[in-house]
Amino acid sequence: MTDINELVKGFQRFRVKSFEPNREVFNRLAMQGQTPSTMLIGCSDSRVDPAILTDSAPGDLFVVRNVANLVPPYETTGRYHGTSAALEFAVCNLCVRNIVVLGHSHCGGINALLEGYGLNDEGEGFIAPWVQIATSARDEVLRRWPDASHAFKQRACERAGIRASLNNLMTFPFVRERVEDRRMNLYGWYYDLENGELMQYDPEKDRFYDLYFGSMAEENV
């Protein structure tokens, strides 16, 4: 387990290996601001770091991470909208050209959703209502595969959750407008922790395919 001292040592290595040799790049980012072309909405899971997975440099990605990489539907009645605020800033201020929803296998948030966490008032009241954003994904999986193994349902729900977030993205007027006039593209990615595979959702075929090998995944979810 990494403790605070190890993190400090890691920063010291970063200064020597990355910052100092690239000081001009970092100074330019500081003075000129950020101009990422892609926003990535990922999970808070410590095993799935978007910058590491995509081998991205500072300034390449505008990233927001939350439990189960969920995008809430557009609404203005609540007071705190962290993910929605990041989305608005990325689209309206940074003018990103791509939005990627990155899900992954063995997602604890999706497992909580699949197990019905929150239906009986468990917990302190934050995780349960948040994962309910993807209730449609859980309902679809349970309806289509009632007798499947838990492992299959988990993977199916993780992918269905990505599709639910893509649908919710289109409820934001400033997103829909840019997608419809082709100024911006939406992508759904799924990372398989065990096999190191990255898959992309094809909305026309309603399937995920492997981006590394270019082959279609077997699960039609």
What are the pLDDT digits (tens) for 157-199?
Answer: 999 999 999 999 999 999 999 999 999 999 999 999 999 999 9
Q: If one looks up domain 37-210 in CATH, what number appears?
A: 3.40.1050.10
Other CB atoms within a 10 A radius of the CB of residue 128 amount to 18
pLDDT band at 1 (very low <50, low <70, confident <90, very high): low
pTM of the model: 0.92
Give the residue range(s) of CATH 3.40.1050.10 domains in the chain. Answer: 37-210
The per-residue pLDDT for 26 is 95
pLDDT band at 125 (very low <50, low <70, confident <90, very high): confident
* Confidence check: pLDDT of 220 > 60: no
Q: Are strands 197-202 and 185-192 parallel, antiparallel or unpaired?
A: antiparallel
The per-residue pLDDT for 217 is 46
Between these two residues, 218 and 56, which has the higher pLDDT value?
Answer: 56
CA distance 128 to 21: 45
Other CB atoms within a 10 A radius of the CB of residue 54 amount to 16
- Which tokens in the block code for residue 9? 């040592």
